[in-house]
Amino acid sequence: MPHIERKELRPEETDQRLLSPGGQPTLWNHMDSTEPVGLWQDEGLSGCPQEGLSCSLDSSELVQECLSQFKVTGTQLRQIQTSLLGSMEQALRGQASPTPAVRMLPTYVGSTPHGTEQGDFVVLELGATGASLRVLWVTLTGIEGHRIEPRSQEFLIPQEVMLGPGQQLFDFAARCLSEFLDALPVGNQSLQLGFNFSFPCHQTGLDRSILISWTKGFRCSGVEGQDVVQLLRDAIKRQGAYNIDVVAVVNDTVGTMMGCEPGSEPCEVGLVVDTGTNACYMEEARHVAVLDEDRGRVCVSIEWGSFGDEAALGPVLTTFDHILDQESVNPGAQRFEKMIGGLYLGELVRQVLAHLAQHGTLFGGCTSPALLSRGSILLEHVAEMEDPSAGTARVHAILRDLGLSPGASDAELVQHVCVAVCTRAAQLCAAALAAVLTRLQHGREQQALQVAVATGGRVFERHSRFLSILQETVKLLAPTCDVSFTPSVDGGGRGVAMVTAVAARLAAHRRLLEETLAPFRLNREQLAMVQAQMREAMAKGLQGEASSLRMLPTYVRATPDGSERGHFLALDLGGTNFRVLLVHLATGGVEITNQVYSIPECVAQGSGQQLFDHIVDCILDFQQKHGLTGQSLPLGFTFSFPCRQLGLDQGILLNWTKGFNASDCEGQDVVYLLREALARRQAVELNVVAIVNDTVGTMMSCGYEDPRCEVGLIVGTGTNACYMEELRNVAGVAGSSGQMCINTEWGAFGDDGSLGTLSTCFDASVDQASINPGKQRFEKMISGMYLGEIVRHILLHLTSLGVLFRGQQIQLLQTRDIFKTKFLSEIESDSLALRQVRAILEDLGLPLTSDDALMVLEVCQAVSQRAAQLCGAGVAAVVEKIRENRGLEELAVSVGVDGTLYKLHPHFSRLVAATVQELAPHCAVTFLQSEDGSGKGAALVTAVACRLAQLARV
């Protein structure tokens, strides 16, 4: 496979670099070499060689004058590259251009092949080979290196059909299809067809394409402005012989890209130089204005043959280009194509030869009727005459066939003309391709680009030098691009079949993905059911009846009123880190000094005595560092584990969570365990006023800023909620007036099986592998500790179905907890381009395609959306309970929230709020993000308790 290495060249060196050692343009040394021809220098001689031609000085000057018109400098090529790039980007933005420009038509091909496509496909090819129609039967095996040659049949299209009514053309195509299939054992099977329609079209879908204008000699009436796929479907239906589904309409350029064998670099550019010329490439969908998409990629057909920027093309247009254009069937149109396409190269050569002959420089001043006839010199003639391996004998033979009598030096001069015309074509094509590569870099924000370009068309097939000139020029114009060129395998046939196969694969994968994620997409009725079940569980828990919600009294009887003042200590234990804080509540605000201490795993899972001794050592260290030794400040202890409180300063640990498992603690009063440890260290007795759950601390922290804050919510590693309940409803606490904060411990909601209808097989797998199977079921569907694991299990399932990673089992994905919940937040971020999503996943060792990245994104979205909606259903249950407790028609309440999942995930908070609004329409709920709820909140619980105690004494 030809390959371009990256090569940097300073702009001022570009033109000089391309001279031969003697200072002459490399064109003239090329007749004895198969090395690629470079760009010509901006100044100096550029016509025929000064020696070896038997012609007068005037004749030599005439030859130089003719051929110098085909000279293209490096500066001019860079100008064309820049101009074309500007036209591309303008068209992508949907901005109209005052001059003829490129169209940038989305093809709705959203994925390139990954080698597993398989099945039988029918291809109908119209317009790719002139006045003929081809039907193919293509079998894709899905096995690398194993190809089955397609069956095909070509049908000549009569002239009257090419110029007649559109229905006549499509009926002819349907009859050809039937005739072809009659010879195959098709039976009644449903066939998938790819339609290669190689004319300018405006696609509005993969199977919807409006013909803009006929080209290539076709002029069928009633087709322009119509959907050609529908016209074909109607004709097939009229024929009525076979059950054929037209899956995709594809132009030959897209087919070329798709027909490229998968290699080390992704093949994301197609380049065709045939009768005409065009290119396509995979653009980021968010940059294509007409699509209104923000994810994924789409193949864009540039239609660069219509590029006609006068400022860029004007300096390289020759007298012969102007004559050719005026004599064409579409004067003023397709100017770029007329300088490159195979339909025109022979005609340009003919015009130059005729001009030189008429001025006595060639063939002894003689012409012939053939030489003066349009279309007499074809691309094949040019390629053969230019080929140095054929020598001059072939040149003489072709010229004699034109009725000419070439002299001894005529053959060499004719070769120079062919070289000049074809070299310019290859260089112009390279400038356009360099613009495409630059666009790819810009769109993907990459400093360097690695990509494969699939090439197709008769110019590449029959003109051996064209590719080498193209490669050399691209290397100079796009030095930061590492490009591989690979010939497409029958782009019009196999490539179109591949588009059809990829569409079929994506459709099948889409069905499997939707089936997999369907249980995560909860409707309003399901969410309302969760809300109702939670309300029922809350009521039972408050009355002391059997319930999955413990509804634990916290003995916090009021929220802050803003008058709290003083210095307070706070302790915060709820994860792998332990904090000690000094909190100063003053008129000007809250001042916090804190220090973080780690809890080693051996301590967290060792003995209870070891854990609390470590906690006391941290407290003593903090007191010493901050001059607090010997002082006994009021202290609040945030202990973020399920406890049954018997008083504000008494909390019985029910069970450990979050990876803690210290022995001899469950069933014990944790404040007592702390005081015992202080005694062992012979430390000053601490004034432990309150033991606080982190959820309560969050509510109190926000309540200091907003007196309406009566609900606390944590959505981080775990999840929980608390709220201010009417004391009359709390069966386990004496008194009937006033309020008390209730810790719902809602992470355990559903442990009684009430969430069974919403639980998936992936939830079951995560639960079974956890340290507490069957427990904390609600938490395992919501919190950050588990969402990444749910996603990992879904990805494993989709891989086993062949939907992801080409069905290849990724060993790293088998590792528990490898997919962190923080990846969900990063992957779902609106600011991330798809390439950044891919980078995150590739860092995990996942060899994924853009399609894989999009599907992983969808999985993450489904899992996090369900989590947010379930959380919202829970909050809705809580605020509705408060509203009904107070007999209010409308309730205005604030919810204090903490937790990394809620704060860092780009959509979680919005989804929670939207769900609450839908399920509790009579509650105006404001969400406040807590600042240090577990530290500041614990101090505030303590401060409120001190304030209430002082009031009681008064």
Residues belonging to the active site = 579, 640, 694
Task: Provide the β-strand partners of residue 579.
Answer: 572, 596
Residues in the chain: 954
Q: Which of 403, 338, 349 is nearest to 379 (CA)?
A: 349
- Alpha-carbon span 541 to 875, nearest angstrom: 17
What does each C-alpha distance from 87 to 280, 461, 478 come to in angstroms? 15, 29, 18
Q: Which of 193, 160, 167 is nearest to 178 (CA)?
A: 193
Task: Provide the β-strand partners of residue 124.
Answer: 135, 195
CA angle 678–684–687, rounded 5-degree value: 85
Q: Is the dihedral of CA 331, 332, 333, 334 positive or negative?
A: positive
Give yes or no for a contact between 669 and 641, defined as CB atoms under 8 angstroms apart.
no
**C-beta pairs of 671-674 under 8 Å, 24+ apart in sequence:** 671/637, 673/608, 673/612, 674/612, 674/615, 674/616, 674/637
Instruction: Give the neighbor-by-neighbor strand order of the sheet with 449-456.
Output: 105-106, 297-301, 277-284, 267-273, 449-456, 481-487
Pairing state of beta strands 132-140 and 119-126?
antiparallel
Query: Which residue type does 271 have?
Result: L
> Helix, strand or coil for residue 18?
coil
Direct distance between the N- and C-terminal alpha carbons of the chain, in angstroms, rounded to an integer: 92
At which residue do the structure tokens 């591309």 appear? 88
User: What is the token pair recorded at 650?
Assistant: 């008494």
Give yes or no for a contact between 420 and 27, defined as CB atoms under 8 angstroms apart.
yes
Q: How many CB atoms lie within 10 A of CB 721?
A: 28
Q: Which of 572, 631, 664 is nearest to 942 (CA)?
A: 572
Taking the mean position of all CA atoms in its chain, how far away is CA 302? 21
- Alpha-carbon span 455 to 253, nearest angstrom: 9
DSSP-assigned letter for residue 149: P
- Alpha-carbon span 416 to 386, nearest angstrom: 8
What 3 state SS string does 534-546 have? HHHHHHHHHCCCC
Find the helix or strand (DSSP H, E) in which 123 lies: strand 119-126
Query: Which residue type does 67 have?
Result: L
Q: What is the CA radius of gyration of the chain?
A: 38
- Alpha-carbon span 891 to 921, nearest angstrom: 10
- Alpha-carbon span 402 to 381, nearest angstrom: 11
Give yes or no for a contact between 88 and 302, defined as CB atoms under 8 angstroms apart.
yes
Q: Is the dihedral of CA 477, 478, 482, 488 positive or negative?
A: negative
Find the helix or strand (DSSP H, E) in which 579 lies: strand 577-586
Task: Provide the β-strand partners of residue 32.
Answer: none
Give yes or no for a contact between 424 and 465, defined as CB atoms under 8 angstroms apart.
no
Give yes or no for a contact between 744 and 540, defined as CB atoms under 8 angstroms apart.
no
Dihedral pair phi/psi, residue 490, rounded to 5° = 50, 65
Task: Provide the β-strand partners of residue 281.
Answer: 269, 300
- Alpha-carbon span 105 to 290, nearest angstrom: 9
Find the helix or strand (DSSP H, E) in which 525 lies: helix 524-542
- Alpha-carbon span 109 to 297, nearest angstrom: 8
Query: Which residue type does 469 have?
Result: I
DSSP-assigned letter for residue 607: B
